[in-house]
């Protein structure tokens, strides 16, 4: 009996070590992508190719990395993992934002023009719940979206097909940057809440005539649960990773617009801050120290980079808005 018990414990230990090794391997984050550039037969850069390719490649990387798409896995060891699924969701949110702007702004010449059918359907498929594992599964819908984006890219590159376009203008770039601002602002607030803080209600600030549906408290205590701190951290890290891929592509496609507005340095500053969010995390766990104590607070460090990136995005938006 004792020998059987020891064998059972030994077998369980071996299974645990193997499962832990697999989870560590699957938790390795993907590298930042290099923007792709395509030229026409005349040697001219094809506008929109880099941004569209960045959207495609970002989703393909998430689906094809070690372990594949983990957010909807129901089997061990992935069902016990939360850092990589949080990373995937953060990146997916940025993908959805860019896909929306491509459908509404980048592919349309004016407000009365029709939306591109492939981008419309691709954006719809990207909005399926990321944890869906039954028919249709999240992976199948996302791969369908990638196929549609590739069809749009091929049509956009065809000089004989003027229906598919990508318009690199200051006004539509600003529309995407407004979405980026909201996303980065939310990330920064959630990261800062790791230590808890009392936030004043500024919902109606700046307009004495403004009203809201129901009254809110003048202030409230905001604090992220200890169990969710690492999830918020890795969700922000995934979001910044995807956004970095897109910013590098925008730097290519909107080069002329940025040069005219003398805004190249502003975009490079955004890229620099986002690159800082992708530094290696040497700690085996996300620490949550407070103030100037002995233990680091990784969430606050991430919030610092995100906030600085957001400030640079606001500066870039202002530059693009100027005549």
**Can you tell me the mean pLDDT for 82-106?**
95
Q: What residue segments make up the domains of the chain, in order of their start?
A: 33-198+221-322
Alpha-carbon distance values, 201 to 190, 220, 221, 300 (Å):
16, 8, 11, 22
CA distance 167 to 107: 6
DSSP 33: P
**Can you tell me the mean pLDDT for 141-160?**
95
CA distance 109 to 240: 29
Look up residue 306 and give its two tokens: 């995100």
Q: For the ranges 46-50, 62-66, 198-202, 268-272, which has the lowest average pLDDT?
A: 198-202
Maximum average pLDDT range among 27-36, 75-84, 220-229: 27-36
Look up residue 145 and give its two tokens: 């979206």
Per-residue pLDDT at 204 exceeds 70? no
Q: For the ranges 95-109, 141-155, 267-281, 288-302, which has the lowest average pLDDT?
A: 288-302
- Dihedral sign (CA 86, 126, 31, 191): negative
Per-residue pLDDT at 6 exceeds 80? no
Per-residue pLDDT at 112 exceeds 70? no
**Can you tell me the mean pLDDT for 79-107?**
94
Could you list the beta-strand ranges (E) of the chain: 197-200, 219-222
CA distance 81 to 264: 40
**pLDDT band with cut points at 50, 70 and 90 for residue 210:** low
Asked whether the beta carbons of 165 and 107 are under 8 A apart, the reply is yes
148 compared with 20, residue with greater pLDDT: 148
CA distance 147 to 49: 15
**pLDDT band with cut points at 50, 70 and 90 for residue 206:** low
Nearest to 171 by CA among 242, 95, 254: 254
CA distance 246 to 55: 7
The answer to whether the bond into 314 is cis (omega within 30° of 0) is: no
22 compared with 260, residue with greater pLDDT: 260
Per-residue pLDDT at 199 exceeds 80? no
Which pLDDT score, from 0 to 100, does residue 49 have? Answer: 97
Which pLDDT score, from 0 to 100, does residue 322 have? Answer: 82
């Amino acid at each position: 009996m004792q020998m059987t018990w020891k064998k059972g414990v030994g077998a369980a230990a071996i299974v645990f070590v193997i499962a832990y090794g697999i989870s560590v391997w699957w938790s390795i984050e993907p590298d930042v992508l290099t923007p792709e550039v395509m030229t026409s037969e005349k040697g001219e850069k094809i506008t929109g190719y880099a941004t569209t390719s960045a959207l495609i490649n970002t989703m393909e990387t998430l689906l094809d990395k070690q372990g594949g798409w983990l957010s909807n896995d129901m089997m061990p060891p992935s069902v016990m993992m939360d850092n990589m699924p949080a990373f995937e969701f953060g990146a997916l949110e940025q993908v959805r934002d860019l896909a929306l702007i491509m459908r509404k702004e980048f592919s349309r010449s004016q407000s009365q023009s029709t939306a591109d059918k492939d981008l419309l359907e691709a954006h719809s498929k990207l909005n399926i719940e990321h944890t869906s594992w039954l028919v249709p599964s999240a992976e199948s819908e996302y791969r369908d979206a990638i196929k549609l984006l590739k069809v749009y890219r091929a049509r956009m590159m065809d000089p004989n097909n003027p229906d598919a376009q990508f318009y690199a203008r200051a006004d539509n770039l600003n529309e995407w940057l407004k979405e980026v601002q909201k996303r980065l602002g939310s990330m920064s607030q959630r990261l800062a809440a790791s230590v808890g803080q009392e936030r004043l209600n500024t919902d109606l600030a700046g307009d004495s005539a403004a009203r809201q549906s129901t009254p809110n408290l003048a202030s409230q205590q905001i604090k992220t649960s200890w169990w969710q701190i690492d999830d918020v951290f890795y969700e922000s890290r995934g979001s910044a990773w995807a956004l970095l891929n897109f910013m590098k592509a925008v730097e290519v496609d909107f080069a002329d617009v940025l040069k005219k507005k003398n805004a190249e340095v502003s975009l490079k500053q955004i890229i620099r801050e986002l690159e800082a969010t992708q530094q290696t995390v040497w700690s085996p766990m996300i620490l949550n120290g407070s103030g100037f104590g002995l233990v680091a607070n990784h969430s606050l460090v991430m919030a610092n980079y995100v906030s600085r990136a957001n400030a640079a995005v606001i500066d870039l938006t202002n530059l693009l808005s100027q005549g």
